[in-house]
Structure 1
């Protein structure tokens, strides 16, 4: 595993681990730069990983050693909440440091490729009893926009009929596992957005625009108010 050697390599990732540990459930932890032996595939086999897409994109991966405690906190026996669901809020807090964008779906399993990548910064998550886990941050610079392709129209013609999923998200909320398991039909869940706040428009799970909810012929619709520039840059 190759580690960055300069302060400039580490600096962009340091605020992410600070935000992460503040939001992690359980005993307080602190993030310190990993300087020991490379992590083995077995150590990162139960990682929780997600991709952030925005003005700066990144791969984020989190491993907690106490898997039994994490499973207990998730309430896996109830069949509703996975460990990744419990850790997602902490990953979202870390990703928010990167600016506007969206954190993708949680992936659970082996993250050795990310932890061993040369441009990934790895942190130890340290508590009173020692190292409690690891956090990997791989920040990706926005790729330069390619030169215009004179044959682009003909190339796009080949996929013109491919269907993609466009979804609109009006808000989110966070609740404890106890609150989640207590939900019953008729319960009202308050979201994190005020009435009139633009909704997020997602293309195959990727944030591409903002819009406002309208009604057209007795059906809900969305009026696009802003197209995000990062869609073209990423």
Structure 2
């Protein structure tokens, strides 16, 4: 007798899971539109057998979550991330993962997060969606939303929100995050990237002398100017941005 299908957890509204899956499907870089269909069967490690490009990520924010995405390599133009490849599967699929976790509110997404795929698929709190394109299944998307511990202050207290954020961040004080300084960026097609050679000049979207962006795990948090310190580059902070500015 086959095992009973795992029921959808009631940790959050099913609409939240569906919204995340739909946002992800709309951002996948495939030639045909992708639809996300709720997976009604069992979720276990067998789903990983013969799976395509597999990327996992962790999201910490208003709602925290673990996400797992598998897409057939041919749908992504081959097998990204192979020897000598300039782009990885995580690079190609990150915009889709950002779209999915974006529906959970403000937070930080990391594809370096250690998410155990088989354990996550076997977790009763994981919701899984099949990804379909051009009449066939091309992969799956799994998401597990974690509850942030509520604060102990009375509801409506003026310090309630502030203490809640502080308590959540206090638990990850020792977690290392990537701080990046960016002097500009541009968009290029894969063809142009593959055609780059030593000596090529890439024009950026930033004028000379403009402040550099300082990003924490890909999120803009401050502005600064590049300086030289004992023959090493550094950055002098000139402006700290608030949450809304960083999200803009």
- Cα gap change, 1:39 to 1:197, in 2 (>3 Å): farther
User: Conserved in 2, the CA contact under 8 Å of 1:71 and 1:82?
Assistant: no
Question: Given the two structures, how large is their TM-score scaled by the length of structure 2?
Answer: 0.65
Corresponding residue for 1:154? Answer: none
**Unpaired runs of 5+ in structure 1?**
149-161, 229-234
Alignment coverage as a number of residue pairs: 210
Corresponding residue for 2:70? Answer: 63
Matches for 1:30-179 after TM superposition, within 5 Å: 30-36=35-41, 38-44=42-48, 46=51, 47-64=54-71, 66-70=72-76, 72=78, 74=80, 76=82, 78-106=84-112, 111-144=117-150, 167-170=179-182, 175-179=188-192
Which residue among 198, 222, 229 is the counterpart of 2:237? 222
- Compare relative contact order (CA 8 Å, sep 6+) and give the higher one, 1 or 2: 1
For residues 122-149 of structure 1, the C-alpha deviation after alignment (integer angstroms, 9 at most, x for no partner) is: 111122333221111112232345899x
- Cα gap change, 1:77 to 1:217, in 2 (>3 Å): closer
- Cα gap change, 1:183 to 1:71, in 2 (>3 Å): same
Corresponding residue for 2:170? Answer: none
CA RMSD of aligned residues (A): 4.0
Select between 179-188 and 70-79 the one with higher mean Cα deviation: 70-79
SS at match of 1:90: helix
User: Conserved in 1, the CA contact under 8 Å of 2:66 and 2:115?
Assistant: no
Question: Cα distance, 1:167 vs. partner?
Answer: 1.8
SS at match of 2:100: helix
Corresponding residue for 1:29? Answer: 34
Question: Given the two structures, how large is their TM-score scaled by the length of structure 1?
Answer: 0.69
Q: Distance in 1 between matches of 2:11 and 2:62?
A: 22
Instruction: Check if 1:181 corresponds to 2:199.
Output: no
- Cα gap change, 1:187 to 1:109, in 2 (>3 Å): farther
Question: Cα distance, 1:24 vs. partner?
Answer: 0.8
**Unpaired runs of 5+ in structure 2?**
154-162, 164-173, 244-248
Question: Cα distance, 1:9 vs. partner?
Answer: 3.3
- Cα gap change, 1:42 to 1:142, in 2 (>3 Å): same
- Cα gap change, 1:196 to 1:122, in 2 (>3 Å): farther
- Cα gap change, 1:25 to 1:164, in 2 (>3 Å): closer
User: Conserved in 1, the CA contact under 8 Å of 2:215 and 2:221?
Assistant: yes
